[in-house]
Amino acid sequence: MSTPQIVVGVSGGVDSSVAALTLVQQGLPVAGLFMQNWADDGSGHCRAEEDRRDAVAVCGRLGIPFHFRDFSNEYWQGVFEHFLAEYAAGRTPNPDVLCNREVKFKHFLEAARELGAERIATGHYARIDQQRGRWRLLRGADRGKDQSYFLHQLGQAQLAATLFPIGELQKSDLRRIAREAGLATHAKKDSTGICFIGERDFREFLGQYLPARSGEIHDPEGNVIATHPGVFYFTLGQREGLNIGGVRGRPAAPWYVVGKDVANNILYVDQSHDSPWLQSTRLRSETMHWIAGTAPAAEFQCTAQTRYRQPDEPCTVKVGDDGSLQVRFERPQRAVTPGQSLVLYDGQQCLGGAVIATTDAPLEQRLGASTSS
């Protein structure tokens, strides 16, 4: 078996299939590697075995070697334990970001080099270029599928060793290319969420690791509205799953989560999608990761996303001595959530990102003041 120049992460989906096809068509020595990141718990919800079979079929069709690695222990220690700790603290983590940093662009990259490869490739919708000696992470050409938000923790070493072969493609073209090439994954449904949750009930799954503790649901004025099964099951702006029926003296309108008091196990709700209790114009982040290695300036203007697929939001950024950021948005933002990722952009270029620590949302400020007094 010849030594591959590039190892493609084949997930059994259409995106990674076309990434591998593109490199094969370029005449490059390519191999595929399937990563198992979650040990099958017997629930039937994880599609890992089905995905592995599809990945084998794609590699067979393309005539490239297939490799398999089990990274479930690394995933548990590097991603899932943090995921649980964040939920237990009442925050809403983003495991996809950590999975990219800790597994796909760390352990997968190491495995590829053990096979003798120079670089890795994945089916992410993003692009890489080099300017003035620095590698840059750029948005994917298909803005609706762009995944640079989840890749913001990558650095110069990872980008130098990575290819994103489908970054210039539109999703609609990609499925056509896969179909014309006879790839079995051309019509396969895109995976949603993360494998270990699959299609199962999220609350039931989380309850296996974080025992539920019911408590009261209040409105922002402190009136008891209903009860909840556990504050960590909910995130800011959420409407589904509250199970609040008709409340005497209140209109028959949906309720939204506007705050969480973890210490006292209280969930706060309001009846407006754009409730003022959900609005913030400032946030503080944890330590920022800069893709270039350093900040562009001590203070600068750019755009930001505080959640995936959010439109670009203009903001002013101040870099603290400790590496954290103070960010001020030009207009109020809805449901900016501690634990989620703030990702900064300069046009098409992703500058990097950080975990959101706090915001100036009114209820968060009030709850923070009450717990610190």
Catalytic residue numbers, as ranges: 99, 195
Work out whether the CA dihedral 207, 210, 214, 220 comes out positive or negative: negative
Contacts 24+ apart (CB under 8 A), 314-323: 317/344, 319/288, 319/295, 322/287, 323/287, 323/288
Residue showing tokens 């700790």: 85
Cβ neighbours of residue 122 closer than 8 Å, sequence gap 6 or more: 8, 9, 16, 19, 104, 162, 163, 164
Q: How far apart are CA 20 and CA 184, in angstroms?
A: 13
Q: Give the C-alpha separation, 77 to 79, whole Å.
A: 6
Q: What's the CA angle centered on 55, arms 150 and 194, to 5 degrees?
A: 35
Q: Rounded to whole angstroms, how far apart are CA atoms 197 and 358?
A: 27
Q: Measuring CA to CA, which residue among 338, 332, 372 is closest to residue 355?
A: 338
Eight-class DSSP state of 101:
I
| Neighbour tally for 4: CB within 10 Å | 23
Q: What angle do CA 269, 196, 235 make, to 5 degrees?
A: 10
Report the C-alpha gap between 167 and 128 in whole angstroms.
8
Radius of gyration, CA atoms only, the chain: 22
